[in-house]
Amino acid sequence: MKRYSFGKAEHLCLTKDIESLFAEGTHSASVYPLRAVYRRIKPGSKPAIKVLLSVPKRKLRRAVDRNRAKRLLREAYRHHKDLLPAILAPDEGLHIAFLWLSDRTLPTAKVEAQLVKLLRRIVEKETASS
């Protein structure tokens, strides 16, 4: 896997997986303007970490704003996804949904800094629970 890629295989797309992520045994962490909902899984295939990005229409009414927010999230995650594999055992996987909470777009540096804080918070919680 390329270090700074975020290909289709890493996207959480299956409806069954998304429903189970939000339904059962999930954990969450928040750092404004983001909230992460995540769940450990037994992976059936590679990659072990799959991500869903959600920017609701209720928060950002204009499509250009939603698309920009998703682009910022994708780019920030792509650069800092190396923080996550350290917490996983070889036979485990992780599903994560990043939800946008703000009602306006934010600068790139702010979004990236907050996503890094959020990823570190997830790593702290999971290492403490293991």
**Domain of residue 100, CATH code:** 3.30.230.10
pLDDT recorded at residue 85: 84
pLDDT recorded at residue 126: 87
pLDDT recorded at residue 2: 65
Q: Report the distance separating Cα 100 and Cα 113, nearest Å.
A: 14
Q: Is residue 13 part of a domain?
A: yes
Q: Is residue 37 part of a domain?
A: yes
Q: How many domains does the chain have?
A: 1
| Residue 25 φ/ψ, nearest 5 degrees | 55, 40
Local mean pLDDT, 10-residue blocks, the chain (130 residues)? 81 93 88 95 83 96 97 96 86 93 96 97 86
Where in the sequence is the domain holding 65, given as residue range(s)? 8-129
pLDDT recorded at residue 120: 95
Q: Is residue 16 part of a domain?
A: yes
The b-or-e profile of 88-121 (16+ CB within 10 A means b, else e) is beeeebbbbbbbbebeebbeeeebbebbbebbee
Q: Is residue 1 part of a domain?
A: no
